[in-house]
Amino acid sequence: MNNISSFEITIKSIPDISPDQVELVMSQFKPKNYSKNHFIGRQDETTRFTAYVEKGCVSNYRILDNGKKSINHFAFEDWWVGDLDSFLNQKPSKTYWLTLEDTDLLAITKQDFDELMSSVPPFQIFFLKKTQTAFVKEMENADKDKSETALERYMRMMKNYPQIIQRVPQYDVAAYLGIAPESLSRVRNQARKLIS
């Protein structure tokens, strides 16, 4: 039961949460298991749940007007998935969420989520802080992405998210870095020379 416990640790570590509230929160999240290459969310669909990743990897991306696939991030273990805007406001999503490995989630529906948000204030604060942290991180990454060279972006990815290189297909790494797939091997070679 190792997988359950990482979620349990997360919920138990919420500041000011009582044992009863821990039990209530945990009971609202239901396991969902998907095989590799399954869309847990698509553009134009309304997101039915938000979920904690127990095991696996999910890519979150957007298809731009120019036809390119732009990957915002990869959600590994202990990340959360689901289009926030679509989930919270129950409107069509603008992004895709695709499993890149067999993936085990713990998912909560919008109705159960709303009930927890009003009945368990520590959970509400936890969720708002998570969102805020994600926003701050997104701004920092966005500012760096647009002004760094491809090599600098690659080096930062290697430092902050080394699991991406180990677990994600090459063409998805390129779509995450915002470079053409055929440029990736050049950037990797440059990186190798820098490191060695």
Binding footprint of a second copy on the chain (CB under 8 A):
61-62, 64, 66, 68-72, 84-85, 88, 94, 128, 131-132, 134-136, 138-149, 152, 175, 177-178
Euclidean distance between CA atoms 76 and 56, whole angstroms: 6
Of the pair 17, 177, the CB lying nearest a second copy is at 177
Q: How far is the CB of 5 from a second copy (least distance, A)?
A: 29
Can you list the pairs that 80-85 forms with residues at least 24 positions away whose Cβ atoms lie under 8 Å?
80/50, 80/51, 80/52, 80/53, 80/130, 81/40, 81/41, 81/50, 81/51, 81/53, 81/105, 82/40, 82/41, 82/47, 82/49, 82/50, 82/51, 83/41, 83/47, 84/50, 84/131
Of the pair 22, 73, the CB lying nearest a second copy is at 73
Q: How far is the CB of 22 from a second copy (least distance, A)?
A: 24
DSSP state of 92: B
Joined together, the tokens standing for residue 177 give 């870095």
Of the pair 31, 178, the CB lying nearest a second copy is at 178
Of the pair 14, 134, the CB lying nearest a second copy is at 134
Q: How far is the CB of 104 from a second copy (least distance, A)?
A: 25
Q: How far is the CB of 132 from a second copy (least distance, A)?
A: 7
Q: How far is the CB of 70 from a second copy (least distance, A)?
A: 4
Euclidean distance between CA atoms 185 and 17, whole angstroms: 48
Of the pair 20, 182, the CB lying nearest a second copy is at 182
Residue position matching structure tokens 């069509």: 92
